[in-house]
Amino acid sequence: MNPFTILAAFIMAPIFYMPTVVTDHEFDKKVGLKTSAVVFGLKKILQAMYLLTIMLVIIRLMLFLFFNVELKMFALLIIIYTIVFTVASHSRIKEERLYLHENWILIPFALISAAFIIYGFLKLSGLIMLR
């Protein structure tokens, strides 16, 4: 597996995990849990998402520019979706609370996964001949 792909996955995971921590912030604070959102605060956590998104975009652009068609398609989808997700997450903070529905994470990942599974079957069956 490509090292850039692995690095990008390690950077992408916290980007999509951070809003889930932020949505639990109010409850975690009330019960005394020390999550990253409680310790650092909502705005700092979401600002860290911007830094991680920039790092991810740079790595994915390298994949897009230098690797095969499959990685290029995947990199482009992830770049677009990560930027939209990060901006949407930051814009959905109201009164120290994040109002972001879980489908912002679940549905796009399911659609992207389904598209690549279908693509894999088509390529394995010889219906698609990309290099």
Tell me the pLDDT tens digit for each residue of 6-18: 888 889 888 888 8
- The dihedral formed by the CA atoms of 73, 75, 78 and 80, expressed in degrees to the nearest 10: -80
Domains contained in the chain, number: 1
**pTM, whole model, 2 decimals?**
0.73
Does residue 20 lie within any of the structural domains?
Answer: yes
Does residue 25 lie within any of the structural domains?
Answer: yes
Q: Which domain holds residue 80?
A: 3-101
- Tell me the pLDDT tens digit for each residue of 70-118: 778 878 888 888 888 888 887 777 766 677 776 776 787 788 778 878 8
Does residue 78 lie within any of the structural domains?
Answer: yes
Does residue 73 lie within any of the structural domains?
Answer: yes
Does residue 117 lie within any of the structural domains?
Answer: no
Nearest Cα neighbor of 85 from 64, 97, 100, 75 is 100
Does residue 30 lie within any of the structural domains?
Answer: yes
Does residue 108 lie within any of the structural domains?
Answer: no
Largest distance between two CA atoms of the chain? 57
- Tell me the pLDDT tens digit for each residue of 105-129: 678 778 877 887 888 888 888 877 7
Does residue 119 lie within any of the structural domains?
Answer: no
